[in-house]
Every structure is written in C-alpha cells, then in structure tokens.
Amino acid sequence: MPKRPHRPLPLGTPAGVEVLTKILTQGPIPRVQIARRTGLSQAAVTKAVAPLVEAGFVTDHPAETEDGTEVRAELGIGRPVSPLTVVPDSISVIGLKVTPTDLIGVTTDFKAGIRAVRHQQLADKSPDSVLERLAELATELMATLHDKTDPAGPLIGVGVAVSGDVDAVHGVVRDSPFMGWRDVPVAALLGEKLKVPVIVSNDVRALTVAEHWFGVGVDADSFAVVTIGSGVGCGLYINGEVVSGAHGVSGELGHLPLAPGDLVCTCGRRGCVETVASSDAILARIRETTGRPELDLAGAIELAHEGDAHAREAFDRAGEVIGSALAAMVNLVGPQLVVIAGEGVADYDLYDQRMRQAFAEHAFGAAGDCTLMLRSHTFDDWARGAAATVIRSYVRGEPPLHR
C-alpha cells in the first residue's frame, strides 16, 4: 500500500493548513479576507498560497459561477480582486458507505462535489464478503476517474463510513451492531486490496465532517447533525471542531437510555432510544399491534398515513423518544443549530409533531431556542461524508495519507 498520496500538499506549517482550509471551505475568498479571518499577516498568507498555486491546488484566476457571472461581481466588489479557490479536479477521493443490505460509493473532487455514484447490493454482511464487495465497488469507481472527456484528479485515498464504535485512528471497526462486526481492521484489509490509503469513520461523524467543511458548519458556531432511520445517530460540532470522543465514541443519541427498560436494543443494552425509534423497531411494533406480521416498512408507513391508530401510535412513541433525546442533547451541549437528516425523513411527518412537543417539554430554558432544521438526505450523502473525512485528513497532513 502506498504510504504517500500521489500529490503531497506543499503545506509544511500550521499557518499553511489554516490558509488552505479557509480557501477550501470559504472560497472564493480574497487574500485580504483570509488574513482577516485567520489573524495571519497578508505576507504570511501570500507566502502560504504561492506553493499551492504553483502546484495547481489553488487558483486565483477569476472563477466563474454556474451562470457564468464572475465571482468578483458576486462578491459585490467593484475593483478587480483575485479571490482564491481550490482547483476541484486537482485531486479525487472515493467515499464508501456500508449498510447491512447495500454499499454506496461516490467519487468526489477536492470540494466534496460528487462526480460519480455506484450502488451495490449485499447478499452477505460478513466482514470478508463485505470487504470483497467494497474492493470491487472502489475499483469500479476508480475506473470512472480516467474518463477521457472529463478527467478527474489523482486519487488520494478512500474513505469508508460504518455505523457503530469505530476507532478511526487505527482504522478498526470495534463494534458495529448493525453489521454484526467486532474488531474488523477495515483500513488495513481494504488498503491491502486497493493499494490506496483507507480511512474508516463512524458514519454520522463522517457526515458531520462534511457539514462542518462543506455544509451548514461553514456558518454555524456549533451544530448537531441528527440522523433518523435504521438507526438514530448524532454528530456534534462544538468549540471549533467535530467532537470525536476521547475514546472514539460520541454522539450516540440512539443509545441514550430514554426508552422503557424492558426493551432490549440491537446493541444488547436496555432502554436505548433505538428500541423504540429505529425503523425496525417501529415496524416490529406495528406488526405486533396490528397483528400483521407480513407488513414491510413501506406498508406500515402507508397504514399510518391512512390514519390506522396502531400504526400512528408506533410513530408517536418514536417521535416522543426522539424529541426527548434531542432535548437531552441540547440540554447538555446547547448547539446553535440541529440538522435533522437521515433516510427516515421520508416518514418525518408521522413523528414530527410529537417529536417537537417532547422536545419543547424537556428542553431546558434557552437551550430550546436552537434552530431545528429538516434536511432531506440520501444514502449518497453518507458516502460523500466518508470522502470528506479523507479530504480533511489530506489537508491536515494526517495519517495514513501522509505517513
């Protein structure tokens, strides 16, 4: 496995990392604004930018926006400036999301813009089989990078997002209840197959990194990303950084003990939020209370939309415990903004009201003043999150991309 990316970044100093981060996440941005926002001198900014422009990662040619207007006009500045942007196709990244039934893969450019998407169904979720399929999917995605009419930048690494307790430093999935995995060294095994550096992250953490650098985080001082669907997860951005947890675990909103203690979670613990609020839990409840074991999730949602009392009750219960969990989270960390995202938001109308009611009941004082924002969300976004973790490690000069 190559120990260095194809295109090492000419950074070297913490100031260089800071400058590139500003250009990447806030560009197009003039040098003078970078200086203002970082507290660096203009000379220091110019010094950091020069080798990046030289090597083709950054450009100060007036970029064009989608409708062809020059950026300088967009900035409302009359005299010519040279706002800096990264060159999107100076590198490529692959992001992969693992679920128990599907693999989702994307290629992105330097700005986490999606270029290609591939999905693959999983017949078997054992680590060996999934790693084999992941390698195939990544290889397929790599082939798309060499399109002659629209060539992408050289691949710097592959990101993999998996739910559960993931040791990102060592690249090991320690415990993923959904996958039934324990201590699977995904980074080493997949890296060996692909001969490319691999970064493994908790999936919600990866999504939060993407929001931090390429989404709502660019403007918010603090935020939480809450995902609702087959699991309930949460990523936190506080005090200028994504919260990673001293031991690699954080944001486990789905495993707060807020549900009845007689319900056993997929993780083995009692009373977790997911015992009531995961899509599997909702479906199981509706099957039981309606006496219709043949129902699938789509059927259960339809039933609830038709007004069936049993089906509504299961979504109410889910909404209530999710609302309580959101309140618990804002009472503890007090974010400015809560983004609600996840595959479950298609059924969002079914628990929205009860969720907001429970949230309002339990949010303490001004903690409840945070904005709750609903965000539509696809599986591709999870894979893009995995790509964003690779881009962040690349810019920050972290291993395994720079070992």
Residue 239 touches a second copy, criterion: CB under 8 A: yes
Residue 249 touches a second copy, criterion: CB under 8 A: yes
**Binding to a second copy (CB under 8 A): which residues in 12-31?**
14
In this chain, which of 327, 350, 391, 401 binds a second copy, going by CB under 8 A? 327
d(CA 50, CA 165) in angstroms, rounded, equals 41
In this chain, which of 21, 26, 82, 222 binds a second copy, going by CB under 8 A? 222
How many Cβ atoms are within 10 Å of 289's Cβ, its own excluded? 14
> Which among 105-113, 334-342, 345-353, 380-388 is the span making contact with a second copy, rule CB under 8 A?
334-342
Q: Which residue number, 39 or 76, has a Cβ lying nearer to a second copy?
A: 39
d(CA 137, CA 333) in angstroms, rounded, equals 38
Residue 369 touches a second copy, criterion: CB under 8 A: yes
> Which among 18-26, 51-59, 92-100, 239-247 is the span making contact with a second copy, rule CB under 8 A?
239-247
Residue 281 touches a second copy, criterion: CB under 8 A: no
Query: Mask 42-81, x = binds a second copy (CB under 8 A)?
Result: ----------------------------------------
Q: Both tokens of residue 332?
A: 């503890």
> Which among 100-108, 111-119, 123-131, 362-370 is the span making contact with a second copy, rule CB under 8 A?
362-370
Rg, C-alpha atoms of the chain: 22
Asked whether 367 and 330 are in contact (CB, 8 A), the reply is yes
Minimum distance, C-beta of residue 294 to a second copy, in the bound complex (Å)? 34
Closest CA to 348 of 340, 336, 357: 340
In this chain, which of 33, 108, 324, 393 binds a second copy, going by CB under 8 A? 324
> Which among 62-70, 101-109, 211-219, 241-249 is the span making contact with a second copy, rule CB under 8 A?
241-249
Q: Which residue number, 270 or 292, has a Cβ lying nearer to a second copy?
A: 270
Residue 185 touches a second copy, criterion: CB under 8 A: no
> Which among 50-58, 250-258, 306-314, 343-351 is the span making contact with a second copy, rule CB under 8 A?
250-258
Query: Mask 155-174, x = binds a second copy (CB under 8 A)?
Result: ---------xx-x------x
Q: Both tokens of residue 148?
A: 């002659």
Asked whether 143 and 149 are in contact (CB, 8 A), the reply is no
d(CA 157, CA 399) in angstroms, rounded, equals 11
Contacts of 297 (CB under 8 A, 6+ apart): 279, 282, 283
d(CA 283, CA 293) in angstroms, rounded, equals 9
Residue 258 touches a second copy, criterion: CB under 8 A: yes
In this chain, which of 257, 346, 380, 397 binds a second copy, going by CB under 8 A? 257
Q: Which residue number, 120 or 331, has a Cβ lying nearer to a second copy?
A: 331
In this chain, which of 11, 198, 282, 328 binds a second copy, going by CB under 8 A? 328
Q: Which residue number, 4 or 364, has a Cβ lying nearer to a second copy?
A: 364
d(CA 3, CA 6) in angstroms, rounded, equals 10
Minimum distance, C-beta of residue 269 to a second copy, in the bound complex (Å)? 6
Minimum distance, C-beta of residue 258 to a second copy, in the bound complex (Å)? 7
Query: Which positions touch a second copy (CB under 8 A)?
Result: 14, 39, 164-165, 167, 174-175, 221-222, 234, 236, 238-241, 243-253, 255-258, 267, 269-271, 324, 327-337, 361-362, 364-367, 369-370
